[in-house]
């Protein structure tokens, strides 16, 4: 579809109105002025006490209760539809609302269970939210583009089908930034998604709608994607768990991309949840379904049980050499180090291999088509360029008369492979630091220089994106919250303008109460280990 420039606002308004009309009037809440709205689910009157209890229960326990006939899927799905509706009104986290279909599917699962006595699968009757880029037949997959509005998907993504086959019920889709190429979630179709912890701040991106919804417990389990930090950043800013796998571990076929065909840095799918056990359940279920039989790029590796050494040795990144983390993140690193050492583990400060080169590689890959794809979709929708895509807009202007050559991409991919080899050698050399004869069991790192940030101010994704260049696995775990003690710190030896802006902009009063999360990184295709190490850290911190 091509939209006239003067019509794009009408298209956006129509999409929002259609979404909002799908929220039952009985679920509409009064306006709330507070920045932190995490208690509103309990106070707004939409959910019954029993429904609050249901939505406070972790996904694996919900499945167990449904299989044991203590709860029905209809009860569980309805409760989460209500809480998701409240989350939407507070944070603007949803795109497509599928409540009616989800409740009907829940009723069907309940009826079949009564008749056969056989659960629908390992996700029996469980409501699951999806990031907007996953195709669900019959509804839009806009990925924030006006041009892709009012164009319902004709097929389901492979993952959508798989989750339903395993008993899951898709009940909503969640907001992303335009093209999924901004570390906050806003676009010209749906608007801005805020954090429920502090609505003046960001929920992150590009899976920011998932982050906000899951932080509010409007979904027990969600699925995001990550090409530069898009699962990990929202998880850290939302105080939840998440897994960024290596490419090939989980199916990606049939999901929509803002840069279709960009495969030099591969986008991957992974679970997000307020529950670490929910993330494990998702992984076991997806891999256990043998997804390599339906997606040609999935590797046939079964889900493995991990036996960790009793005493672990972690590397810890306290500075990537480009942007020092802000005070709340520095404190989270110190607290995690102390907790792990108190639990008997070793933590060694470590510098990753050449973060600046990884940053350069990522930026050049993302502009590999000269910004042509994104520019074309923006123009097709007649919409203005959103804030945050300035680099793509500049690339489109720069390369409009002479697009980059294929040979340039090949050269860049050779550089990436050389970088990945040097980064691997650097990682393996850590065996000299551990005292165990083996390299680090995992590396603890900031996810971001921020705990959170005011709207439209996020920049610098290298703490996450460097692991996309090397395709290593990583899991996020919550650590703390910003407090009055995270005072503003004055430094002057800034290394570049980005670090200077981030530090000079920092005001702890703006982000008090925001979560602080960290990530633990492993080697490639070690998703089981990443989750196990995240559990070690979370237990040491007293989070689980």
- Which residues, 6+ apart, have CB-to-CB distance to 250 below 8 Å? 159, 268, 269, 270, 283, 286, 287, 291, 298
Helix pair 276-288, 158-165: axis angle to 10 deg: 100
Q: What are the pLDDT digits (tens) for 429-443?
A: 999 999 999 999 999
pLDDT tops 80 at residue 1? no
pTM beyond 0.95, yes or no = yes
pLDDT tops 80 at residue 488? no
User: How far is it, in rounded angstroms, from Cα 169 to Cα 84?
Assistant: 14
Q: How confident is the model at residue 416 (pLDDT cuts 50, 70, 90)?
A: very high
Q: How confident is the model at residue 84 (pLDDT cuts 50, 70, 90)?
A: very high
Q: Do the beta carbons of residue 212 and residue 132 sit within 8 Å?
A: no
Q: Is 219 annotated as a binding residue?
A: no
Tokens 């056990």, residue located: 277
Q: What is the mean pLDDT of the segment spanning 182-188?
A: 98
Q: Is 229 annotated as a binding residue?
A: yes
**Residues belonging to the active site:** 131, 206, 230
Q: What are the pLDDT digits (tens) for 319-353?
A: 999 999 999 999 999 999 999 999 999 999 999 99
pLDDT tops 70 at residue 476? yes
Q: Is 228 annotated as a binding residue?
A: yes
pLDDT of residue 228: 98
- Which residues, 6+ apart, have CB-to-CB distance to 32 below 8 Å? 40, 90
Give me the percent of the chain exceeding a pLDDT of 90. Answer: 97
If we measure between CA atoms, which residue out of 128, 118, 109 comes closest to residue 169?
Answer: 128
H or E element in which residue 170 lies: strand 169-174
Q: What is the dihedral of CA 380, 386, 390, 394, to 10 degrees?
A: 20
Q: Roughly how many angstroms between the first and final C-alpha of the chain, as a whole number?
A: 49
pLDDT of residue 378: 97
pLDDT tops 80 at residue 6? no
Q: What is the dihedral of CA 529, 441, 417, 373, to 10 degrees?
A: 50
Q: Alpha carbon of 162 to those of 19, 73, 130, 158, 243: distances in Å? A: 26, 18, 13, 6, 19
Number of H helices, E strands in the chain: 20, 13
pLDDT tops 70 at residue 389? yes
- Find residue 481's DSSP bridge partners: 515
Q: Which domains does the chain have, with CATH numbers?
A: 13-293 (3.90.1300.10), 313-368+408-541 (3.90.1300.10), 369-403 (no CATH)
User: How far is it, in rounded angstroms, from Cα 285 to Cα 302?
Assistant: 11
Could you write out the DSSP letters of every residue in 108-151? HHHHHHHHH---SSTTTT-EEEEETTB--TTS---TT-GGGTT-
Q: Is 227 annotated as a binding residue?
A: yes
Q: What are the pLDDT digits (tens) for 125-172?
A: 999 999 999 999 999 999 999 999 999 999 999 999 999 999 999 999
User: How far is it, in rounded angstroms, from Cα 457 to Cα 526?
Assistant: 33
Low-confidence winner among 312-321, 395-404, 438-447 (lowest mean pLDDT): 395-404
Q: Do the beta carbons of residue 234 and residue 224 sit within 8 Å?
A: yes
pLDDT of residue 295: 98
Give the strand order in the sheet containing 94-97. Answer: 94-97, 169-174, 127-131, 222-226, 268-273, 241-244, 474-481, 515-521, 442-446, 313-316, 346-349
Q: Is 191 annotated as a binding residue?
A: no
- Find residue 271's DSSP bridge partners: 223
Q: How confident is the model at residue 4 (pLDDT cuts 50, 70, 90)?
A: confident
Q: Is 442 annotated as a binding residue?
A: no
User: How far is it, in rounded angstroms, from Cα 169 to Cα 164?
Assistant: 6
Q: Alpha carbon of 542 to those of 21, 56, 320, 513, 538: distances in Å? A: 42, 19, 27, 19, 6
Burial class (CB in 10 A: 0-12, 13-18, 19+), 493: exposed
């Amino acid at each position: 579809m091509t939209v006239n420039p003067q019509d794009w606002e009408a298209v956006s308004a129509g999409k929002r109105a259609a979404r909002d009309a799908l929220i039952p009037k009985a679920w509409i809440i009064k306006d709330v002025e507070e920045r932190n709205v995490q208690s509103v689910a309990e106070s707004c009157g939409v959910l019954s006490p029993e429904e609050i209890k249901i939505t406070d229960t972790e996904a694996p326990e919900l499945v167990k209760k449904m299989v044991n006939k203590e709860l029905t899927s209809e009860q569980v799905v309805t409760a989460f539809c209500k809480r998701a509706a409240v989350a939407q009104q507070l944070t603007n986290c949803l795109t497509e609302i599928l409540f009616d279909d989800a409740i009907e599917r829940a009723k069907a699962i309940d009826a079949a269970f009564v008749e056969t006595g056989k659960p629908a699968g390992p996700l029996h009757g469980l409501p699951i939210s999806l990031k907007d880029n996953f195709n669900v037949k019959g509804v839009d997959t806009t990925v924030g583009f006006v041009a892709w509005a009012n164009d319902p998907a004709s097929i389901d993504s492979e993952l959508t089908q798989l989750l339903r086959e395993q008993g899951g019920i898709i009940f909503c889709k969640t907001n992303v930034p335009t093209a999924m190429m901004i570390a906050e979630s806003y676009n010209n179709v749906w608007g801005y998604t805020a954090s429920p912890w502090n609505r003046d701040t960001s929920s992150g991106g590009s899976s920011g709608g998932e982050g906000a919804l899951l932080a509010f417990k409007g979904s027990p389990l969600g699925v995001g994607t990550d090409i530069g930090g898009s699962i990990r950043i929202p998880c850290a800013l939302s105080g939840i768990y998440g897994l960024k796998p290596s490419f090939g571990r989980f199916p990606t076929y049939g999901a929509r991309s803002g840069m279709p065909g960009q495969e030099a840095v591969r986008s991957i799918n992974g679970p997000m949840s307020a529950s670490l056990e929910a993330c494990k359940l998702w992984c076991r279920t997806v891999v256990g379904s043998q997804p390599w039989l339906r997606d040609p790029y999935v590797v046939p590796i079964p889900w493995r049980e991990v036996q960790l050494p009793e005493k672990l040795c972690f590397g810890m990144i306290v500075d990537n050499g480009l942007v020092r983390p802000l005070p709340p993140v520095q404190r989270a690193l110190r607290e995690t180090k102390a907790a792990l050492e108190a639990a008997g583990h070793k933590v060694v400060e470590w510098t990753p291999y050449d973060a600046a080169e990884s940053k350069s590689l990522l930026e050049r890959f993302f502009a590999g088509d000269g910004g042509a794809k994104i520019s074309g979709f923006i123009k097709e929708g007649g919409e203005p360029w959103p804030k945050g895509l300035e680099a793509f807009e500049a690339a489109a202007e720069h390369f409009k008369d002479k697009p980059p050559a294929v040979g340039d991409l090949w050269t860049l991919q050779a550089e990436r492979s050389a970088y990945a080899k040097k980064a691997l050698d650097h990682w393996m050399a850590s065996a000299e630091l551990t005292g165990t004869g083996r390299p680090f069991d995992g590396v603890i790192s900031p996810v971001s220089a921020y705990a959170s940030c005011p709207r439209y101010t996020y920049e610098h994704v290298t703490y996450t994106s460097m692991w996309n260049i090397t395709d290593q696995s990583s899991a996020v775990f919550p650590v703390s919250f910003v407090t009055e003690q995270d005072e503003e710190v004055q430094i002057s030896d800034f290394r570049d303008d980005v670090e200077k802006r981030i530090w000079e902009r920092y005001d702890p009063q703006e982000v008090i109460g925001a979560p602080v999360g960290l990530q633990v990184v492993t080697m490639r295709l070690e998703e089981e280990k990443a989750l196990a190490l995240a559990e070690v850290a979370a237990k040491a911190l007293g989070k689980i």
